[in-house]
Structure 1
């Protein structure tokens, strides 16, 4: 019901209540409140009935809006032993005991001790999305419940929560997981189709590359992830498509048959939330990667679905700290790769009397930055991502031409040379010209706008940016003000920044370099991190002042 400020009540219409699928195990009910306006109050109630005692519904004390009062009563018969997984500032419960008559089987009733846990949180602050997070669900105050064991009167204790080795064993015994990768009959057609790629592949590294290229070039990729393959691999080949996790499991199967040691790696993606290593909870995983080992002990994390991504570089949403390698008998947690995103610019320009710049910008991109540009360039012949970047900074800029190098070779840096005229790069005012030489930097603005942040900062990958500029200014001008050089580092080698601008004759020479190495910053370090980025953006935006002699 919506309670409007004028006292009118508007009920939710049944047609505005609908069900949608979340994944193969879950669906959710969504509804829309009518007639909402500032000052209105909404109220809703629901009853959830479930036989799933294995995992009780989780409870959130916090949301994206302030929560004045949140209270949870949890009554558990003494037969059940649950693990409580608290996250955030969850209050300590008040624990009471009572006795109730409960129905056992179809007819018998028994008086049983019931443990009642009461959780109350008052005035929980809102958590709103900010840059560089996994998902807000990782930071809300919430509590989850996992059944560990149960014991009914007259029966032995039944252990529900398994161990990591036992979970790996169960996965490999499941038809939709291990069965797909172990039974060669389920992927015999796929193996045959991969032979043109494997022909001539002698070394382990060559076989890994052959299988990776075969998968990426053969299948249309779906946008869903999961940990189960509900379709046989041969059927996927016949249909010509499969979801990413299925293709990654397919790579495990093909590599093993080709004599390469390969294992499935279960992960929780960034949008799904951080993984929990304390307890073997299968429902926390929502994706599978492939881990292949070469003869020299090198490890390659493989993820299908993007032909522009080199071997060993994962999708950004998969970069969630650690993954669980489901090796039979010896499963283990491993760190996921931390591939860098790198951009280097070399500017050779001449400054005009009007404050414009004319010349060339040579670019080199590696890692995720190269992937981003290659996707745009090769998927759409009309795409002009570099031109768009320059035009975003200099709307009046004129791009004469852009020459790309190694645009289709994903294993090399993507290089480009831009020939351009940027009439509004600087500002001429009377006898002065004002110019910011590092204008191409992605760090000219601080991404951390909020003074306060109630959760950690989580960068997906390391970042490196370097700008080298040689700018010749016109005869008859002299340097009036030159920004001071600076060199600073984040605490614990988390990153660094240097800015050095010098003059040699009528040439300005700039070196600006920014690196973010550390990926995870605790909440208490946010103020320091924000201040660091403030200093960087201020320095990058600083101007050199030229005056007529």
Structure 2
């Protein structure tokens, strides 16, 4: 009996691991599952995720790149329904258009004890232009319910044989089984770069391949003669087999969660075809920078000056100071050419962008660089990967998607400029560009590395004068001064918003506070800090119990929630820029009350001068003064400090929540 039981268990185990993932073979067991076996909190999960990318030889075209996709997804509740919509990006450039084919998709449910399927209708597949360089194919699966399973497969055909999309091994929902394969002919040499915290090692083997040619000709005696020939070659096949992959969940203060997502990126290093010389692509950073600079859409655009010469001569012809010239040209480009929202470090057409007053980040900042050089300044473009694009850890052109301008001024001063944001000032780049390091592309392809994160603190200094009445209502005035990135962020949100809508959102942020006499100074004067002021009134700000009043002296301004909730964090904490926030509250208490107790003053410091917090309350007569200051001194804090950073936030949040007690005289 014991032997029979062991055999039975082994059979069950083998069945579990030999799940049939053949397309269309969705089981009742998969549909009946109510909780994900590897993550009970998951709203959805990939039951199976398959990808094969390979090359196929086509006569008169050569090798073309193909990718086969097959995915099966389970929904446990409505919160997972976002995964019922699939969007496929297809690149569309000068070399042709990527195309999707053989799309099949079904939704599976159990009805009356049977597995039923519903096919995706062709009318529910939508193709649109995502941006100038890519199209989008989007579809949403029909008849989705908690418990449903969807399955789809398709093929992508690409003329861009050198650009292999990243193999993604981790999503924000778990994956039960993943299989991936990259099959490449010997003529292409790719290097693989992996990232993330999963152990991802492929099985690599060489296999034989053959290209068959059939040539037709007319014989001298009539009829058609067929001449068959073959070329044998080997293929390198890399296979990935992964199971029970945990979800990668979004966390606060991460530059891009994609930087930590487990993946493998294959990038072409060189090609070697029969009877041809080796052609290198991006073996080193020097290769990368040289290829970028040699492009007609980069280096050549920096040399064009005829379209702007007369305008720049008139603008700075009488100016001799380098810093003044830089500021004038920077402001001129910001005012003349509007960013169209397209990312990229190559220019489309700088002359056209200048004449039409709109262009991509490449157009605008390469134009800015060319103008600065023409005016005699030492200026170079800087390749940047935006925060959402990730960090280029290895030599790669694809790792960059943006460009800014670097200027060296007298006395060894350096300025970073980005003219895509009209509220940006020197060395205050938009947040999207604050992502580790940029790569300076000097003339003739030389390069250097520069830290993109700012060193100067962005400040928000708040003064609030208020009084409490006998009913516990709070009335007073608020004034804040914002500098650097705090000012940049405010200008973008305030100047581009409907003012009534902006004010309504501000009142809602503070739970229905009534605001009047709202004013902003220096919203368009970028040389000065933002000054924001208003009067306010808010009821029920004090707890009245018997003859005592209880309240937190920061009221609606205090921090109420710790953004760091995980027990452990693998990623750096990226604040974007160093900051200083200070509050000075001057408070009058109602007549007939006296101060019974106030919170004790405290000063905290993070290790290695990473940050600090100070809190002080002074009271006398009917007046209370509160001074609070929080500083974060580094843009990025290593995860080794996560526990102490989390505790630091907990401590000052608890401190700000402590109450002042008033009692009737």
Does structure 2 retain, via aligned residues, the 8 Å contact 1:355–1:435? Answer: no
1:377-388 alignment runs, 5 A limit: 377-380=494-497, 382-383=499-500, 385=502, 388=505
Q: 1:75 to 1:310 in 2, by over 3 A?
A: closer
Are residues 1:145 and 2:266 paired? yes
Deviates more, 1:467-476 or 1:414-423: 414-423
Output one character per residue of 1:244-265: Cα deviation in whole Å (capped at 9) or x when no partner. Answer: 3311111111111111111111
Offset, 1:324:
0.8
Q: Which residue of structure 2 aligns with residue 301 of structure 1?
A: 416
Question: 1:131-182, CA deviations, whole angstroms, 9 ceiling, x for partnerless residues?
Answer: 2223332222111112223445666544333443344333333221121120
For 2:627, the equivalent position in structure 1 comes to 511
Aligned equivalents of 2:246, 2:650: Cα separation in 1? 26
* CA drift at 1:70: 1.0
**Residues 285 and 21 of structure 1: CA distance in aligned 2, closer, same or farther (over 3 Å):** farther
SS in 1 for 2:165: strand
User: C-alpha displacement at 1:67, in angstroms?
Assistant: 0.5
Question: Helix, strand or coil: the match of 2:379?
Answer: strand
CA 1:318–1:345 in structure 2 vs 1: closer, same or farther (change >3 Å)? same
Q: Which stretch of structure 1 is more off in the superposition, 156-165 or 114-123?
A: 156-165
CA deviations on 1:83-138 (whole Å, 9 max, x unpaired) are 11111134353535354242177764344444433322211111233322233322
- What is the distance in 2 between the residues matched to 1:335 and 1:101? 47
Gaps in structure 2 of 5+ consecutive residues: 1-105, 215-227
For residue 544 of structure 2, what is the aligned residue in structure 1?
428
Report matched runs for 1:55-454 at 5 Å: 55-93=163-201, 95=203, 97-103=205-211, 108-152=229-273, 157-185=278-306, 188=307, 190-233=308-351, 235-276=352-393, 278-279=394-395, 281-327=396-442, 328-338=444-454, 340-380=457-497, 382-383=499-500, 385=502, 388-389=505-506, 392-393=509-510, 395=512, 397-441=513-557, 443-451=559-567, 453=569
The answer on whether the counterparts of 1:354 and 1:427 sit within 8 Å (CA) in structure 2 is: no
Instruction: Indicate if the aligned counterparts of 2:585 and 2:626 stay in contact, CA closer than 8 A.
Output: yes
1:217 deviation in Å? 1.6
Q: TM-score, normalised by structure 1?
A: 0.90
Give 1:454 shift.
Answer: 5.4
Check the 8 A contact 1:4/1:41 in 2, yes or no.
Answer: yes
1:385 Cα deviation after fit: 4.8
CA displacement at 1:531 relative to structure 2: 2.8
- Tell which has more relative contact order, 1 or 2 (C-alpha 8 A, sep 6+): 1
CA distances 1:476-512 after superposition (whole Å, capped 9, x unpaired): 3233332222221223322211111122333222111
More strand by share: 2
Q: Relative to 1, partners in 2 of residues 1:243 and 1:479: Cα closer, same or farther, differing over 3 Å? A: same
Structure 1 residues 117, 201: closer, same or farther in 2, change over 3 A?
same
**Following the alignment from structure 1 to structure 2, what is the Cα–Cα distance between the partners of residues 155 and 215?**
46
Aligned equivalents of 1:249 and 1:18: distance in 2? 36
Pick closer, same or farther for the CA change 1:400–1:232 going to 2, 3 Å.
Answer: closer
State the number of aligned residues.
Answer: 542
Alpha carbons 2:457, 2:579 under 8 Å: kept: yes
Contact between 1:427 and 1:435, CA under 8 Å: does it hold in 2? yes
Q: Separation in 2 of the partners of 1:267 and 1:302?
A: 12
User: Paired residue for 1:4?
Assistant: 109
- In the alignment, is the contact (CA less than 8 A) between 1:355 and 1:434 conserved in 2? no
CA-atom RMSD in angstroms: 2.8
Q: Distance in 2 between matches of 1:99 and 1:308?
A: 57
- Structure 1's 97 and 492: CA in aligned 2 closer, same or farther, altered over 3 A? same
The residue that corresponds to 2:71 in the other structure is none
* 149 and 247 in structure 1: CA distance in 2 versus 1, 3 angstrom threshold: closer
- CA offset at residue 340 of structure 1? 3.5
Instruction: Quickly say closer, same or farther: Cα 1:22–1:286, change in 2 above 3 A.
Output: farther
In 2, the alpha carbon distance for the partners of 1:34 and 1:40 equals: 10
Distance 2:165 2:522 in 1: 51
Partners of 2:240 and 2:640 lie apart in 1 by 26
The aligned counterpart of 2:646 is: 530
Tell me the distance in 2 between the aligned counterparts of 1:388 and 1:77: 58
Given that residues 194 and 214 in structure 1 are in contact (C-alpha distance below 8 angstroms), is that contact kept between their aligned partners in structure 2?
Answer: no
